[in-house]
Amino acid sequence: MSDTLPRLALVASPTDRAQEAETTLRATREWVSPDEADIVVALGGDGFMLQILHHMLDTDRVVPVYGINLGTVGFLMNRLKSTRPLEERIARARRIAVSPLWMEATTNTGEVQTSWAINEVSLLRETRQTAKLEITVNGKVRIPELSCDGVLVATPAGSTAYNLSANGPILPLGSNMLALTPISPFRPRRWRGAILPENAEIVIRARESVKRPVLVVADQKEVRDVAEVRVRAWPEHQLTLLFDKGKSLDERIFAEQFMS
């Protein structure tokens, strides 16, 4: 391996396509373990990328990740086929910093569970009963009672995912903002959400939480029977994604605003 090249690790999702691509790529060069790598090459879809990023945050060893799409959407990934060698693509790639969310959920029994979220933290009703939520921002109650199916807090990286399908705003990377978006709001009927500064602390309390149970999902982690959730961005734990030139995440987020 050339001294001028970073040490690369190769990881793949368990799908057949990703496993086949891993077998092919592993024979092309020398690889190191993820614990020794300067850059991780991830083969899979957006869900697998989120798993890799969450593992890095949990183990406190964060290195840049270059994703290759072998999933469905691949919003966080690069395309599989290219005329350039992988090493050249990585060397030319643009680095995009992503700040995760930190979620702290307290259940009706007083249990506290925490998790990171790269895309969004969403609260959802568990039963046919409409959720009734109190929303506080930076210590001030902004909405005493929101009757809805749920509400979510999205990062710029996640603003084109669940947030967009819930009619939330698209946030450019580097905007240092968060989207607070209701899901099927009933009262106040005209409230369509808010754009908040990244340093805001958001507290969402479930009113009548036993009669009207809600759950919270931080990317892929779910906590049920939630009484209160605290959410804030954590820019001190920035993650780095690598994208081919002209295909970076900020360009994709920008392009989404012009798609019909």
Residue 173 and residue 154 in contact, taking contact as beta carbons nearer than 8 Å = no
For residue 162, say whether it is annotated as part of any ligand binding site: yes
125-168: pLDDT as tens digits: 999 999 999 999 999 999 999 999 999 999 999 998 999 999 99
Pairing of strands 8-12, 39-44: parallel
For residue 120, say whether it is annotated as part of any ligand binding site: yes
Full-model pTM:
0.86
Percentage of the residues of the chain whose pLDDT score is greater than 90? 80
Give the residue with greater pLDDT, 252 vs 101: 101
| Domains identified in the chain and CATH numbers | 8-99+238-256 (3.40.50.10330), 101-236 (2.60.200.30)
Q: What pLDDT, on a 0 to 100 scale, did the predictor assign at position 260?
A: 61
Tell me which H or E stretch contains 82. none
197-207: pLDDT as tens digits: 999 999 999 99
For residue 160, say whether it is annotated as part of any ligand binding site: yes
- Comparing 11-15, 74-78, 105-109, 178-182, which segment has the lowest mean pLDDT? 74-78
258 pLDDT higher than 80: no
22-64: pLDDT as tens digits: 999 999 999 999 999 999 999 999 999 999 999 999 998 999 9
DSSP designation for 5? S
Nearest of 163, 117, 122, 80 to residue 66 by alpha carbon: 80
Q: Is 46 one of the annotated active-site residues of the chain?
A: yes
Catalytic residue (one of 3, 35, 38, 46): 46
104-110 average pLDDT score: 98
Backbone angles phi, psi at 247, to 5 degrees: -125, 20
For residue 66, say whether it is annotated as part of any ligand binding site: no
1 pLDDT higher than 60: no
Q: What confidence tier does 2 reach under pLDDT thresholds 50, 70, 90?
A: very low
